[in-house]
């Protein structure tokens, strides 16, 4: 992994990217930390051409986006056009926009994703799937995530595993990086920390800066690299204080693994 392959997920900074001016300031701060790439998600209603221009002006590449599940499945050509305007080749289906409680429902979503992925692929773009813990529920004897990948063509739907949600779902991030060999252009790097429970009773889990939690980053990053990962995207949905400080801590920790 090279430092230039480490990106910041802007959902982490969603409260700091509401306007054009705030977006530019936030990217400037990210560049000062060392990041040279971002994933667009959670930003305000800024036209894609402006997002692209500001990002380039601040020295950052737009490596990927998250688009709404509904738009990906129902209007994939509009997603193609948005990615083209952003100068970006990768997007990910971020969260199930339909119920996934039966195999028939999972199969229906897989068909939509496969079709959308084919539309993007024809334009030289790539659709990935971003998981949460919900996809590790079993339907008809297998996890939903296994069904999604088995029911879609690798050329049409690739992976964006999220390390925290994989772990919370009871699976192993290393195992999923290996399963997605040559189907893993993106990965969300997010640490998993065990903390005292409410009132000091028992324990709970939370997201934290990379290196402050319980995940084995040496093994995760090695397996992601071996599976051909292109972008290593730092995300922290919830930060204890300033999210820029959290992104800085994660950036600094990851430098020991860069070549």
In the prediction, which pLDDT does 199 show?
83
Q: How many CB atoms lie within 10 A of CB 162?
A: 27
Q: Spell 185-210 as b/e; 16+ CB within 10 A means b.
A: bbbbbbbbeeeeeeeeeeeeeebbbb
pLDDT above 90 (res 221): yes
Indicate the number of domains in the chain: 1
pLDDT per position as a tens digit, 29-50: 999 999 999 999 999 999 999 9
pLDDT above 90 (res 200): no
Question: Residue 157 belongs to a domain with what CATH number?
Answer: 3.20.20.150
Crossing angle for the helix pair 76-86 and 103-122, to the nearest 10 degrees: 50
Nearest to 160, CA basis, from 133, 188, 123, 181: 188
Q: Return phi, psi of residue 160, to 5°.
A: -135, 70
Q: How many CB atoms lie within 10 A of CB 46?
A: 17
H/E stretch holding 234 reads strand 231-234
CB 41 within 8 A of CB 67: no
DSSP classification of residue 199: G
Which two tokens mark 194?
């065990």
Residues 6+ apart with CB under 8 A from 17: 10, 23, 26, 42, 43, 44
What's the average model confidence in pLDDT over 16-37?
A: 99
Average the pLDDT over each of 73-87, 188-202, 203-217 and give the range with the smallest value.
188-202
Structural domain for 252, as ranges = 3-257
In the prediction, which pLDDT does 215 show?
99
Cα–Cα distance, 187 to 53 (Å, whole number): 25
Residue 87 to residues 15, 40, 77, 124: CA-CA distances in angstroms?
A: 24, 12, 15, 11
CB 41 within 8 A of CB 65: yes
């Amino acid at each position: 992994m090279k430092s230039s392959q480490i990106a910041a997920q802007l959902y982490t900074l969603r409260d700091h990217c509401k306007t054009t001016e705030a977006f530019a300031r936030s990217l400037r701060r990210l560049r000062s930390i060392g990041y040279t790439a971002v994933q667009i998600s959670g930003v305000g209603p800024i036209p894609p051409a402006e997002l692209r221009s500001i990002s380039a002006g601040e020295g950052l590449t737009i490596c990927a986006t998250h688009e709404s599940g509904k738009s990906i499945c129902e209007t994939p050509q509009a997603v193609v056009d948005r990615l083209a305007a952003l100068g970006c080749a990768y997007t990910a289906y971020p969260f199930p926009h339909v119920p996934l409680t039966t195999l028939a429902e999972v199969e229906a979503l897989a068909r939509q994703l496969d079709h959308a992925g084919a539309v993007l692929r024809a334009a030289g773009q790539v659709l990935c799937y971003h998981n949460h813990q919900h996809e590790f529920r079993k339907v008809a004897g297998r996890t939903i995530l296994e069904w999604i990948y088995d029911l879609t063509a690798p050329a049409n739907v690739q992976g964006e595993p999220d390390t925290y949600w994989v772990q919370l779902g009871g699976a192993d991030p290393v195992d999923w990086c290996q399963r997605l060999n040559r189907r893993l252009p993106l990965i969300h790097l997010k640490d998993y920390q065990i903390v005292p429970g409410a009132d000091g009773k028992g324990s709970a889990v939370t997201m934290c800066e990379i290196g402050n939690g319980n995940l084995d980053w040496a093994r995760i990053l090695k397996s992601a690299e071996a599976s051909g990962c292109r972008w290593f995207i730092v995300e922290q949905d919830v930060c204890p204080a300033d999210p820029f400080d959290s992104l800085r801590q994660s950036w600094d920790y990851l430098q020991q693994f860069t070549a």
